[in-house]
Structure 1
Amino acid sequence: MSADGKNQIGHVGGLHLRLPAQRTGLTGTLSNALRRRRFHPLHDRGQVLVDLAVAITLGATCIRDIRLLEHQRPMIGPVASFPTVWRALKEIDEAALRRIERARAAVRRHVWTLLAAREEGFPWACVDDQVLDGWTVIDTDGSIVCAPSEKEGAHGTHKGTYGHHGFVAVCDNTGEELAQLLSPGNTGANDAEVNIDLLTAAVAQLLGPWRKKVLIRVDGAGFSHALLEWIASAGGRAGPCYRWEYSVGWAFTERERAAVELVDVHDLWQSATGPGGRPRQDAFVADITGLLGDLSAWPPGHRVIVRKEPLHPRYERDASPYAKNKGMRYQTFATNTARGQIAFLDARHRKHARIEPKIHDRKASGMGLLPSRELQVNTAWLMATALACDLRAWLQLLALDGDLVKATPKTLRYRLLHVPARLVCGQRRRRLKIPGTWPWANAIVRAFARIQALPHPT
């Protein structure tokens, strides 16, 4: 083995991420957002941020991994060094973050217009083969990011660890990360103020038509008056055109147990449904709103639904004595959706679990390891991971087809992003020659052609 190869490029799938950033206008919009008077850096700050997002998508876990793109200079041109990337993140303060958020929203408007113009149309969310046509679905969740004690903002967590509490809001329609917050480790997941701030930033990323009918799904962290009232009021927006609904976890206390006992006595259970709307064996749902007493303090139309199923050994350790005695697992959630079968509403709420693997992917794509002791740099790094998530989602929705549209970041890297190629220069052109034996070579070439055909924003 020798290290003397020439004209060979690795991870050429990064070009499939860098080009969409240019074609959709993300690079130029970020450059304008980060431009400062009387400051003309050698490396454009918008391009630096995009390159960092590309490196994160390719698998970078720290700022030094930007060297991966330095290897690709014959293909993409000059790339910022590690110190330059560090300085670029250091320059991003709160005002710059707000400008970046506005830039992302402007580019998202163009991308979503392209998605709606496709033959298959905009990717509406689907629940058991039923399309939620016209609804924008936002899922939120939080996760502990462990860190040493010297990192700014790190604090003891409820899990006995030390670090930060990261919150993300994901659009279930497209897989994009709409908003993210980095809070001290002792911040509670059910902190209403934090959840409202997160959702406010997420909704700001939505376009006008996609902001009118919004479904917000939260786990037990959404069990608070302030948050549910904020959602029911459409974030304080007046007007009948705004229809926001929530589907949040609900506490299972003595009051709910008494209601379940009454449901058992009168046999009021209905079969829960699964894929295709078919009944699921040994899984049942019931509406217990009328058995919980006075709920007038909650938003109008507030409903509480309970689901029971056999207690799986996986959940037996954390189950309550009541659940162990019954041998059943009970889960309750609340919603202000007035119409629809309760079995469908239960299936719709359970789709919130789709955010769990997405959180796992985020932590494996830069979110799980904060690179600096300074909170400002770590916050900017978290923004770069959100850009990486957007670039990957746009690549899958606008350029890929088949299984690659729903592929996880790990699968996408293995099949497309990490493929090697040989760079051939001639006739004033540069050509990348992918091995013809690569199983997904045709998909990679098709994706490149589709990216080149994307219209520039006007």
Structure 2
Amino acid sequence: TFGFHPVGVWCDNTTEFLAAKLRTGNAGSNTAADHIEVLSEAISQVPAGHRKRLLIRCDGAGASHDLLDWLTAQGKVRGRSVDYSVGFAVTEKIREAIALVPTSLWTPAVDADGGIRAGGDVAELTGLLDLSRWPTGMRVIARRERPHPGAQLSLFEEADGWRYQAFVTNTSTGQVPFLEARHRAHARVEDRIRHAKDTGLGRFPSREFAINQTWLMLTTIAADLTAWTRLLAFTGEAAVLAASEPKALRYRFLHVPARLVHSGRRRRLRIPETWPWVTAIVAVFANIAAIPEPA
């Protein structure tokens, strides 16, 4: 990557790559100005009718006063509701609050389907912390889980054998296990990042910033075209392609050994009948052709 450090925003509902900003390698991971800029661009990409209720999730790099203040202000925009769920560092103050939580107040964590998540508990720390310098309405929630064999633990964690993580949210309703499961779903962005790297994000072509900035823009376009194709065309007989990783998708669909021929003023794409995914590819083109034109 020639030392460049991009930051990006994805839409969890559609897997679209909404916005990205190329930064030099010495850019801080928690630079609030960069986060605010790219989030502003991302929100503007969402159609106006779908901006009324937004959930912004990010890891601990977003736990800055400036970003959380900005997110809080976005929630006050007329006709818009903005909730955030942001990773939070387990500092000494957080550890002191965790130590004050009675065993009876730790609640079993849940999975996305509502089932009990084995080996994990959650508890709210909001009332045990001084949050006067943070945005009004911010809540702090901790999760503890039994570590996997070989995991590195802090001295605090070694004392009781639990591994701790924390996040903050401004969502005022909903039970703590639900809010924690909702936050944990942020991990899906790792798939988006991996796919983007396989689509060009992991291989910037130059040491020149401007060239790589153009490359990044092309990467976001490629990622969005892939996302839209999955949503709109990988259905029915084409559904077999839906779970394909970018490398497999290029081989099975984009790099198919076909020929474009002209016949009777029409162009035809001839795909070998022996190609394993020929039925799915034909279905993709049929699905695309069936998409109605914009009004």
TM range, normalised to the smaller chain?
over 0.9
Code of the aligned partner of 1:243: S
What is the aligned counterpart of 1:326 among 149, 160, 171?
160
TM-score, length of structure 1 as denominator length: 0.61
Q: CA deviation at 1:441?
A: 1.7
The offset of 1:212, in angstroms, is 1.5
Where does residue 242 of structure 1 map in the other structure? Answer: 80
* Matching residue of 1:339: 173
Q: Which residue of 1 aligns with 2:89?
A: 251
Of 65, 68, 72, the match for 1:228: 68
Answer yes or no: is the 8 Å Cα contact 2:198–2:246 preserved in 1: no
Between the aligned partners of 2:264 and 2:122, the Cα distance in structure 1 is 68
Contact between 2:4 and 2:24, CA under 8 Å: does it hold in 1? yes
Q: Which has the higher contact order (CA 8 A, sep 6+)?
A: 1
Q: Residue in 2 aligned with 1:274?
A: 111
1:417, distance to aligned residue in structure 2 (A): 2.0
2:44 corresponds to which of 193, 197, 204: 204
* Contact preservation (8 Å) 1:311, 1:323: no
The correspondence for 1:310, drawn from 131, 136, 146, is 146
Question: C-alpha displacement at 1:275, in angstroms?
Answer: 4.2
Q: Distance in 2 between matches of 1:238 and 1:427?
A: 57
Greater Rg, structure 1 or structure 2?
Answer: 1
1:372 aligned onto 2:211: no
Identity %: 50
CA separation of 1:414 and 1:341: change in aligned 2, threshold 3 A: farther
Aligned counterparts of 1:403 and 1:259: Cα–Cα separation in 2:
49
Deviation at 1:299, TM superposition (A): 1.9
Is the 1:422–1:432 contact (alpha carbons within 8 Å) kept by the matching residues of 2?
Answer: yes
Counting only pairs closer than 5 Å after superposition, residues 42-441 of structure 1 correspond to structure 2 as 145=1, 147=2, 163-234=3-74, 238-239=77-78, 241-263=79-101, 265-292=102-129, 294-313=130-149, 316-317=151-152, 319-401=153-235, 402-441=239-278
1:244 shift after superposition: 0.3
Report the 3-state secondary structure (helix = DSSP H, G, I; strand = E; otherwise coil) of the residue aligned with 1:416.
helix
Q: 1:275-311, CA deviations, whole angstroms, 9 ceiling, x for partnerless residues?
A: 421111221001111111x213222221111001111
**Is the alpha carbon distance of 1:289 and 1:432 closer, same or farther for their aligned partners in structure 2, counting shifts above 3 Å?**
same
Instruction: Tell me what 1:157 maps to.
Output: none
Amino acid at match of 1:215: L
CA offsets, 1:202-259, max 9 Å, x none? 1111111111211110100111111011111117x632x2100110011111221122
Contact residue 7 and residue 21 of structure 2 kept, 8 A: yes
In structure 2, distance between residues paired with 1:212 and 1:378 = 34
For residues 321 and 403 of structure 1, the distance between their equivalents in structure 2, rounded to whole angstroms, comes to 48
Structure 2 unpaired stretches of 5+:
none
The more displaced of 401-410 and 303-312 is 401-410
Per the normalisation by structure 2, the TM-score is: 0.93
Does the 8 A contact of 2:54 with 2:82 survive in 1?
Answer: yes
* Partner SS for 1:198: helix
TM-superposed CA distance for 1:312, in Å, is 1.6
Q: Is the 8 A contact 1:273 1:279 kept in 2?
A: yes
Contact 2:112 2:181 in 1 (8 A): no
Inter-partner Cα distance in structure 1 for 2:49 and 2:112: 29
Is contact 2:233–2:284 with CA below 8 Å preserved after alignment?
yes
Q: What is the alpha-carbon distance in structure 2 between the residues aligned to residue 404 and residue 220 of structure 1?
A: 34
CA contact (8 A) 1:215 1:245 kept: yes
For residue 300 of structure 1, give the secondary structure of its aligned residue in structure 2: coil
The answer to whether the 8 Å contact 1:288/1:306 transfers is: yes
* Runs of 4 or more consecutive aligned structure 1 residues displaced over 4 Å after TM superposition: none
Conserved? CA contact 1:223–1:248, under 8 Å: yes
Determine the C-alpha separation between the residues in 2 that align with 1:405 and 1:300: 43
User: In structure 2, what residue type is equivalent to 1:191?
Assistant: T
Q: Secondary structure at the match of 1:330?
A: strand
Unaligned runs of 5+ in 1: 1-144, 148-162
Displacement of 1:174: 0.7
Give the C-alpha shift of residue 181 in structure 1.
Answer: 0.6
Paired letter, 2:284 = A
| Pair 1:275–1:352, CA change in 2 (3 A) | closer
Note the C-alpha offset of 1:327. Answer: 2.1
Residue type of the alignment partner of 1:386: T
